[in-house]
Amino acid sequence: MQSEEWRGRILSQIMDNAVKYGNGEGITVDLNKKEEGFYFIIKNKGEVPAEKERPYIFNSFWRGSNAGNISGNGIGLFEAREIVMGLDA
């Protein structure tokens, strides 16, 4: 895959999570540019993971206590992070 495709995959994973864990009122996506590149801010109006759980959100197969009955396997954000780390190499 080209780096543009990987970036699309990263964005897709994060947006999927925003939709999945949102409260159904939609998500917002902001694209910003800094000297060193671009960055996205993706927000939903869902329940935020507990502060003590936030260090773990990028771990493989980890799901927060806010996941409840929402289907998933805990690899989306892990995959996005791994791609980012590979692109920086």
For the chain, state the CA radius of gyration: 14
Alpha-carbon dihedral sign for residues 16, 20, 23, 25: positive
**Residue 89: its pLDDT value, please?**
55
pTM here is 0.77
Give Cβ neighbours of residue 48 (< 8 Å, ≥ 6 apart): 66
Splitting the chain (89 residues) into consecutive groups of 10 residues, what average pLDDT does each group show? 81 90 91 87 89 93 87 90 81
**Residue 58: its pLDDT value, please?**
92
Give tens-digit pLDDT for 26-48: 999 999 998 888 888 999 998 88
The CATH class, in words, for 3-88 is alpha beta
